[in-house]
Amino acid sequence: MVMNTKKLYDDDAYQTAFNAAVLSCEPYMASSKNTNQDSPLYDILLDQTAFFPEEGGQNADTGTIDDLPVLDVQIKDGLIHHITNTPFIPGQKITGNIDWMPRYSNMQQHSGEHIMSGLIHSHFGYDNVGFHLGIKNVTLDFNGFLTDLQLEMIETLANEAIYKNLAITASYPSKNRLSSMEYRSKIELEGPVRIVTIPGYDICACCAPHVKKTGEIGIIKITDAIKYKGGIRISIQCGARALDDYRMKQQQLHSISVLLSARQEAAADAAAKLKDENFALKGQIISLQNSLIGQKAAAISPDQENIFLLENYMDPGAHKNYVNLLTGKCAGLCAVFAGNDIDGYRYIISSKTKDVRPFHEQMKKQVLAKGGGSGQMVQGSCSGPKEQILSFFQTCGLPFTIPRHLF
Ligand SMILES: [Zn+2]
């Protein structure tokens, strides 16, 4: 048994096909996010592989062994485990293939991350304390905060590193040489340490495949930055992913500008104007509703026993005002519902003379309502339908006045 799987990606990150011998094939009992399958799984060890395992915050490569899918790749004690749902025979010669586009994208993101981390370290002294390279998102965590202006400067400098098309190299310096070297991620490691160098920008201990030249990264774009654990979490998109992201945002902006009849560069101003107009209109609706409910309440005679009303739409403030106006007009309970069968209903039930809670408990069971409140007033919501609500108020045992138009 060999002690380590030979890592072909270490020498040549561009090798997608490879031949290898199966060293062992064991049933794979553990489950991981990549192997959520009911069928039996197998753990395959090969003498050499081009599959990069899940390591250092980066997702595992995908691909095939003899045209059968590799579901996950994990590394443990120098051995690379290929998880499949097909068994292979020890000693068998196989051909492996990795999916090139996702691998190349990972190389673009990872090399981009090194440039960003190197620049942030040299300009501000902050360390990269977390890295995640997933299928969609790339996040970098630093132990210090950066302003928008500082981030823009780093982004500009990072893209200048791309324009320079610098060679990215990997090497295994001797222990003596390492001890006197300045590089990021300097921790005591067993065995040889792989150093990835981007001249003038970054020197870092790293096990992952990188692009050969910085020009291949294409572009580095910061897409988000949030305060995180006393520092900052930055999201980036590089290369083909940045192009996809640009396309998505371009389509979104195009649609927004068409909807608002505004030029793309003026879309945010147009959206802000629309929001202000909407806010003003809501105010007008509430004012009109309050005046309308005042008139409606005035039209109801003041000698009611129990009142039930149902309105199609009512602002929550107007709803409460309506109930307050009507409660003074009835000796018993006043129940006002607002809504429709599609959106559901909100209700308020109140009384100036009775505890409304026993009635509310009875209603909650029959119309599947959720709510609560005090003895004088309860409120809540139910999904309806209207027929069920009406039927309850007709048959509940209390004589409710129900307007004819509701039937
Ligand atoms: Zn790295």
Distance 62 CA to ligand 1 centre (A): 19
Distance 207 CA to ligand 1 centre (A): 6
Tokens of 18: 């490879």
CB burial of 144-164 (b: ≥16 within 10 Å; e: otherwise) equals eebeeeebeebbebbbebbee
Question: What is the model's pLDDT at position 33?
Answer: 61
Distance 55 CA to ligand 1 centre (A): 10
> CA–CA distance from 397 to each of 203, 359, 390, 393 (Å)?
82, 10, 13, 8
Distance 206 CA to ligand 1 centre (A): 4
Q: Is the pLDDT of residue 30 over 80?
A: no
Q: Beta 202-205 vs 195-198: how paired, if at all?
A: antiparallel
Distance 94 CA to ligand 1 centre (A): 29
Residue type, 41: L
Helix H or strand E segment including 170: strand 169-171
Residues 6+ apart with CB under 8 A from 316: 346
CB 270 within 8 Å of CB 296:
no
Spatial distance between the Cα atoms of 3 and 320, rounded to a whole number of angstroms: 75
> CA–CA distance from 150 to each of 94, 119, 125, 144 (Å)?
50, 11, 13, 12
Q: Is the pLDDT of residue 83 over 60?
A: yes
> CA–CA distance from 268 to each of 46, 250, 277 (Å)?
55, 14, 14
Most distant pair of Cα atoms in the chain: their distance: 99
Question: What is the model's pLDDT at position 268?
Answer: 96
Distance 112 CA to ligand 1 centre (A): 10
Q: Is the pLDDT of residue 38 over 90?
A: no
Residues 6+ apart with CB under 8 A from 47: 2, 5, 6, 20, 21, 23
In 47-144, where do the E strands start and end?
A: 48-49, 63-65, 68-76, 79-84, 93-98, 128-133, 138-142
Spatial distance between the Cα atoms of 320 and 329, rounded to a whole number of angstroms: 15
Residue type, 239: G
Please, which pLDDT band fits residue 32 given cuts at 50, 70 and 90?
low
Tokens of 345: 């209903």
**Percent above pLDDT 70 for the chain:** 97
Summarize the confidence of residues 282-288 as an average pLDDT: 91
> CA–CA distance from 309 to each of 221, 286, 404 (Å)?
57, 19, 10
Out of 18-22, 133-137, 247-251, least confident range: 133-137
For the chain, the average pLDDT equals 93
- The tens digit of pLDDT for each residue in 95-127 reads 999 999 999 999 999 999 999 999 999 999 999
Distance 45 CA to ligand 1 centre (A): 25
Summarize the confidence of residues 43-50 as an average pLDDT: 97
Please, which pLDDT band fits residue 388 given cuts at 50, 70 and 90?
very high
Tokens of 8: 């072909």
In eight-state DSSP terms, residue 214 is G
Distance 35 CA to ligand 1 centre (A): 25
Spatial distance between the Cα atoms of 122 and 219, rounded to a whole number of angstroms: 21
CB 42 within 8 Å of CB 27:
yes
Q: Is the pLDDT of residue 231 over 80?
A: yes
Distance 117 CA to ligand 1 centre (A): 10
Spatial distance between the Cα atoms of 21 and 1, rounded to a whole number of angstroms: 12
Please, which pLDDT band fits residue 31 given cuts at 50, 70 and 90?
low
DSSP bridge partners of 89 = none
Domains of the chain: 6-98 (2.40.30.130), 104-255 (3.30.980.10), 301-406 (3.10.310.40)
Question: What is the model's pLDDT at position 37?
Answer: 65
- Residue located via tokens 């905060």: 145
Summarize the confidence of residues 381-401 as an average pLDDT: 91
- Residue located via tokens 């443990």: 76
Please, which pLDDT band fits residue 4 given cuts at 50, 70 and 90?
confident
Spatial distance between the Cα atoms of 80 and 238, rounded to a whole number of angstroms: 28
pTM above 0.85, yes or no: no
- The tens digit of pLDDT for each residue in 312-362 reads 888 898 999 999 999 988 889 999 999 999 999 999 999 999 999 999 999
